[in-house]
Structure 1
Amino acid sequence: MYLIIGASLAGAKAAQTLREEGYTGRLVMVGEETVRPYERPPLSKGYLSGKEPQEKAFVHDAGWYSEHDVELILGRRATHLDTAAHTVTLDGVDELHYEKLLLATGSRVRTLDLPGMDNHGIRYLRTMDEAEALLASLRTGATWW
């Protein structure tokens, strides 16, 4: 099995390239978020402005993964890697054995450490869920402070 940890743009493009280059074995992609891989820049551009639908941010359409025999395991977090045993543990419980591994985990949002940063109106925009929450606040005219 070829295991890709990270179900975002890099992971999705790696899976696509593996299939295009002729890899026919089992291909599994694990992601912490509950939605299929998407690109982050469209969230802060076309989607929030209402010029583009959310669907435009996704790397592949919903059926691409099954059509290309890519198993998506979403909403799960890789919590332990044992390179000697070739295993990755998900959420501290389930263990996956791999032959080849690609870590495409990307980065985390950098938060500010300033007075008032615990205010409920402070927003970060990195994930689809955060974009949805921000858009909902913008639509309702919610008070941010």
Structure 2
Amino acid sequence: MKKVFEQNPTLEKYYGTTDGEAFYNENDAKNHAKKLEVKTVETVYNEKFLEVVDAEELSDSEKEMAEFEAAEKAKADQEAADEKEAIAKTELAKSLAAFDSETTKYPEALKLFKALGLEAENEKKDTIYPLLVAAKTSAQEGVEPKTEN
């Protein structure tokens, strides 16, 4: 998201949503987030405008609080990343379950093939469709799909 500050060097902060969108106005970000599965809005500050405080200027209790806040932020960031990953896996599973070799168009099938991390000697329809069918069958049976090298 540093691109936002590169494109707007005088911007002090923006509001980011979990889908990667950036907003100048917090209400706009919150309204956009209402449509998302993860409705979190994060305020992102431009480092150029942050006041740097040397660690030696902090009291012991301030250092403890800073460490605690950093740990809590890291924990929250990890939880958000885990939640985002779980949502992505759920969406991928839904896409795989909806795959039909008779009706799914090639571009969607290729996107699904790549998202699943499947490999084959080429990405032709005749090659990837059977692998997607096998992956779907394996997923329905609760088994990891095999890849072709």
TM-score category of the 2 structures, normalised to the smaller one: under 0.3
Scaled by the length of structure 1, what TM-score is found?
0.20
Higher RCO (Cα < 8 Å, 6 or more apart): 1
**TM score, norm. by length of structure 2:** 0.20
Report which of the two has the higher share of helix.
Answer: 2
